[in-house]
A and B are shown apart, each in its own frame.
Chain A
Amino acid sequence: MRRPTARPNRIDQVIPSIVERDAVSHHTLEAQRVLRSLGFVSEIYCANMGPEMAGRVHPIADLPIEPDGRQWVLYQASIGSPAAEAFAAHPGPKLLDYHNITPVELVERWMPSLGEEVRLGREQLAALAPEVFLGLGDSAYNAAELDAWGYEQTAVSMLMVDHTNFDVPPDPRLREALEAAKVGGGADWLFVGQMLPHKAHHDVIMAFAAYREAYDQDARLHLVGRDSCPAYALGVRKLVGALGLGEAVDVAGSVSAPELAALYEASDVYVCCSDHEGFCAPLLESMHHGLPIVAYAAGAVPETVGPAGVVLPSKEPALVAAAARRVLLDPDLRAALVDAGRERAAGFSAERARHDFAAAITQALHQVEPN
């Protein structure tokens, strides 16, 4: 491992892919702002870039090498990429910021190509452990994974979330339609997440079916998120049909920010049954909108939700249904969850996250051991 022997002049970032409207890309751009505000030269080098990023970031081949140890490199790890090889080959002291990579077994059966990418990513992260002098995780869960791979020093530095869309006004047409549907009674459940197998939309649907069967025949479920795995998305739609829930489940796909705001506003409970989450930004958004959460305790979910939701050790349909019922019927519990959620969401503010990241860099600077 190349230990830092001098305070750096520049801290450059390496990222596999950078595009707009992507959480890790936003985090990387924010990190660049923080690094520059701390007085470092800081550029971003990537293997792939969206067209809108041209001029703001550089191709990985242009990553400079300054031989005097005054250049550090920071890798933003979220998927397998040849960018990791370029990062590994760089002679400068190395930092790594880990945003979690879904375990292979959760995606491989449905998406062999994605399975290959996540396998590569996890292999690369294990191989990088001896090279990195400080590993950052955007949750304690992620930092613990770095520890398990043998990273010598790790710290938690929260994700710098894009709050731009948190307060957009709700889409008036959708709001009207959702309000009209409520006139006939029934609760609205919401889950937001890309249609990927490890997001377990099917478990949300099963719990919803049990809820309707046991408590509320008029309930509705809204599933928001693009079809990132078409075969799984088809399976989810078939399940909706097989359970006779076609009228009650709205598989909305990708929606605009105002439409999403309308759905958060109209919904009564947010239900998450994901098998794996490294952070789970929609939970944060849900708390911000005052929507109480019922969630299965997978990955970083308990850490992200904190005391602001009902976190369950199992996602048996009857258990999730009973939890949702309790949140909907117990006004004291509901009010407490809403208040706690708003307070917790505020704790993930952009300012706090930037401060967190700056503190992590300061911690790294303390590692400098002059020759």
Chain B
Amino acid sequence: MTVVPPTLFGEISTEADRIRADGTLPAGYEAELRGAFEDIAADPHALEAEVARQASLAARSGARSATMAHRAAGKAMRVTRRAAGAARRRAGPHLRTVERRGVERASRSLEVAAAGLQVVADRGRRLAAGTLAERGIARASGEAGLGLPAFAAPAALRVDAAGRLGDADLDRFVAARFTGRRGPVLHAECGDGRLVARLREAGVDIRGVDPRLADREQRRGALEALAGAEKASLSGILLSGTTDRVTPGSARALARLAATRLAPGGALVLLSAAPGPRDESDPVLSDLSRGRPLHPVTWCHLLARLGLEEISVRETAGGDAYAVAAVRPRS
């Protein structure tokens, strides 16, 4: 079926030439259009930074709104209480009861409204912090995509005050991979460093990094820390946190970087939540559909493709988390 006449493109082309030639479009107009976008698109990183700044400003604005709402709520409650007092003085017991209920109800409504605004502001702050951290890590390492806000870790991956993982079997599995090793070990996304401290007490030469730490030397994302390490310099690498929210492409980049930083005979351990249906109640997190835990088998495939050996998996009794361990061959 032919709908478009064969001469149509020629006619359209002639019309385009006409509007260029007769001044319908000002001379150089199309070049100006292209130039305008080329100027804007010259530095995508600058645009990314601006997106992060805008998110941060939105969060601050949300926080200010929450503060103002709190103040307004307080003022309204004071006014209401004064009015109620005056009414009580002038009215009988029945009116006082009605008034008290009214005050209570108004007070509850105001508190709920203020709390709601506070939640929005907090979420904005978290999102902005996550976005800023992600951009910082991405810039520093030349990679991107690992700095998403954390999903709630399963209990098995929480570390107690003594530096032990929530699942005893998993804890033994992880500790055994590093205890007795000579040479430096890196724990990426170590949180407040309890597990690092415990392994250090056990004689492991280990240091921890985490993008949330205050210490500038330790404030590093996993990719950044690995990219900054010498090739074949680490006798062990422990990756946690970031492994819960990688994209497939980032997982490959992360695994490849880790494999190259391991010294021959060095051990790599990945700690991750198990993949599964996520809580969709938080629309911000649910929209970030790419970053999520991978299945241990996919990590095994990745690590095997990178030439690592002695690959083993240990899952928790509840099946909500796992560790994958592998060793770089000595030759």
Contacts and interface: CB of A to CB of B under 8 A. Distances in A.
Contacts of A210: 19, 25, 29-30, 33
Given A49-B277, A85-B298, A325 B15 contact: yes
Contacts of A310: 4, 8-9, 12
Given A47-B248, A234-B51, 10 more contacts: A48-B292, A51-B279, A85-B302, A202-B37, A214-B24, A230-B51, A232-B44, A307-B2, A310-B12, A318-B19
A113 B279 CA distance: 24
A243 B36 contact: yes
A80 B253 CA distance: 12
B3 interface: yes
B48 A83 contact: no
A231 B34 contact: no
Interface residues of A, number: 69
B13 interface: yes
B308 to A, nearest CB: 14
A326 B12 contact: yes
A261 B95 CA distance: 55
Given A112-B138, A214-B19, A326-B8, A317 B33 contact: yes
B6 to A, nearest CB: 12
Given A86-B298, A206-B37, A326-B11, A114 B3 contact: no
A206 B33 contact: yes
Given A51-B280, A243-B33, A83 B51 contact: no
Interface of B: 1-5, 8-9, 11-13, 15-17, 19-20, 24-26, 29-30, 33-34, 36-37, 40-41, 44-45, 47-48, 50-51, 54, 138, 142-145, 247-253, 275-280, 289, 292, 294-299, 301-302, 305
15 contacts: A49-B277, A59-B295, A82-B248, A113-B249, A116-B253, A206-B34, A235-B41, A309-B4, A310-B4, A312-B12, A318-B19, A318-B20, A319-B12, A326-B12, A340-B3
Contact of A61 (B16, B253, B296): B296
Given A61-B297, A112-B144, A242 B40 contact: yes
A81 B4 contact: no
A109 B46 CA distance: 12
Nearest to B47: A231
Given A82-B301, A113-B145, A322-B16, A120 B29 contact: no
Given A47-B298, A113-B249, A235 B37 contact: yes
Nearest to B287: A226
Contacts of B297: 60-61, 86
Contact of A82 (B3, B8, B44, B251): B251
B143 A113 contact: yes
A288 B304 CA distance: 48
A239 interface: yes
Contact of B16 (A59, A313, A316, A337): A316
A330 to B, nearest CB: 9
A125 B270 CA distance: 27
Contacts of B138: 112-113
B12 A50 contact: no
Contacts of A16: 248
Contact of B15 (A47, A49, A239, A326): A326
Given A82-B301, A206-B30, A213-B26, A321 B248 contact: no
Given A82-B302, A235-B41, A47 B294 contact: yes
A120 B252 contact: yes
Contacts of B1: 307, 340, 343
Interface of A: 16-17, 19, 47-51, 53-54, 59-61, 79-83, 85-86, 89, 109-120, 202, 206, 209-210, 213-214, 230-232, 234-235, 238-239, 242-243, 307-310, 312-313, 316-319, 321-323, 325-326, 333, 336-337, 339-340, 343
Contact of A321 (B9, B19, B143, B278): B19
Nearest to B252: A120
Contacts of A110: 44
Contacts of B143: 112-113, 116
A116 B41 CA distance: 21
Contacts of B40: 235, 238-239, 242
B249 A312 contact: no
A319 B294 contact: no
Given A54-B277, A202-B37, A242-B40, A213 B249 contact: no
A352 B311 CA distance: 47
Given A112-B138, A120-B249, A322 B19 contact: yes
A201 to B, nearest CB: 10
Contact of A214 (B25, B145, B276): B25
A208 B3 CA distance: 25
Contacts of A113: 138, 143-145, 247, 249-250
Among B37, B143, B278, B302, residue most surrounded by chain A Cβ atoms (within 10 Å): B37
B15 A117 contact: no
Given A310-B8, A318-B19, A117 B301 contact: no
B48 A230 contact: yes
Contact of B295 (A61, A115, A231, A340): A61
